[in-house]
């Protein structure tokens, strides 16, 4: 008798699970708060993409300046140890 009840319970449970399963592709994806390298660009508007380009160009400039400072520091250090 217990076996019959267990099977019936499993059948109902399986049916309910099937009805509750979701297709996650149907859920609208939350737009990212900020751009990350490799992000799906289809989520961004033209204006957002243009702002991202401007921001990245500024960041490239800032990184270039940091590289030049470090090169200058390395040259200064090399000159101290050479003398």
pLDDT in tens, 14-69: 565 555 566 666 777 666 668 889 999 999 999 999 999 999 999 999 999 999 99
Q: Are 35 and 50 in contact (CB under 8 A)?
A: no
- Cα(77)–Cα(70) distance, integer angstroms: 10
The pTM score is: 0.54
- Cα(60)–Cα(70) distance, integer angstroms: 15
pLDDT, position 35: 86
Average pLDDT over residues 2-23: 59
pLDDT, position 82: 83
Q: Are 68 and 75 in contact (CB under 8 A)?
A: no
- Cα(74)–Cα(67) distance, integer angstroms: 10
- Taken in order 7, 9, 12, 17, is the CA torsion positive or negative? negative
């Amino acid at each position: 008798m217990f076996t019959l009840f267990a099977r019936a319970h499993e059948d109902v449970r399986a049916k309910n699970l099937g009805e509750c399963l979701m297709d996650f592709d149907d859920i609208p994806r939350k737009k990212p708060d900020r751009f990350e390298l490799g992000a799906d660009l289809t989520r961004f508007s033209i204006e957002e993409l243009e702002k991202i380009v401007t921001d990245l160009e500024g960041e490239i400039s800032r990184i270039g300046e940091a590289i030049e400072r470090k090169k200058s520091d390395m040259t200064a250090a090399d000159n101290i140890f050479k003398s």
